[in-house]
């Protein structure tokens, strides 16, 4: 099985989630540093749909930029536009497999799609 993790190496939760994936025997892991290689707006929309969450639930709402941009009152489309332009706004980590997508908060959430 293959798992893709949208990862921020500076985030302890993201590192814990990656370590959890690495403990799984036979799991092929693709690591995408989403700050360097951000997913497109369309990819984010598809990931959130597969995860069964809204873009708002995938937003780092406590990020200063989210507050500056007043994203608390933005539409889902506005949030997706903001995330595509500013990937620091994407809550991390996101793990995608053939079985689905999960936000790794807490890291154990990703076990559901392995």
**Sign of the C-alpha dihedral, residues 20, 11, 6, 75?**
positive
- Owner of token pair 């999960």: 102
Helix residue spans in 33-111 (DSSP H)? 41-51, 64-68, 76-85
Q: What is the CATH number of the domain that holds 28?
A: 3.40.30.10
Rounded Cα distance between 98 and 64, Å, is 34
% the chain with pLDDT above 70: 100
The count of domains in the chain is 1
Phi/psi region, residue 70 (left: phi>0; alpha: psi -120 to 50; beta: rest), is left
| Catalytic (active site) residue 71 | no
Q: What is the pLDDT of residue 27?
A: 97
- Tens of pLDDT, residues 40-89: 999 999 999 999 999 999 999 999 999 999 999 999 999 999 999 999 99
103 in Cβ contact with 17 (< 8 Å): no
- Tens of pLDDT, residues 6-45: 999 999 999 999 999 999 999 999 999 999 999 999 999 9
CB count in 10 Å sphere of residue 71: 22
Domain that holds residue 37: 2-113
CA 69 to chain CA centroid, nearest Å: 20
Catalytic residue, candidates 11, 53, 88, 113: 11
């Amino acid at each position: 099985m293959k798992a893709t993790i949208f990862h921020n190496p500076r985030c302890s939760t993201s590192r814990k989630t990656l370590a959890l994936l690495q403990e799984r025997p036979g799991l092929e892991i693709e690591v995408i540093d989403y700050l360097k290689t951000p997913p497109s707006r369309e990819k984010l929309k598809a990931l959130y749909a597969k995860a069964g969450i809204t873009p708002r639930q995938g937003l780092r709402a406590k990020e200063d930029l989210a507050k500056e941009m007043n994203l608390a009152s933005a539409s889902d489309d506005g949030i997706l536009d903001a995330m595509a332009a500013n990937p620091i706004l994407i809550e991390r980590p996101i793990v995608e497999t053939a079985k689905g997508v999960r936000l790794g908060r807490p890291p154990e959430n990703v076990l559901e799609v392995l």
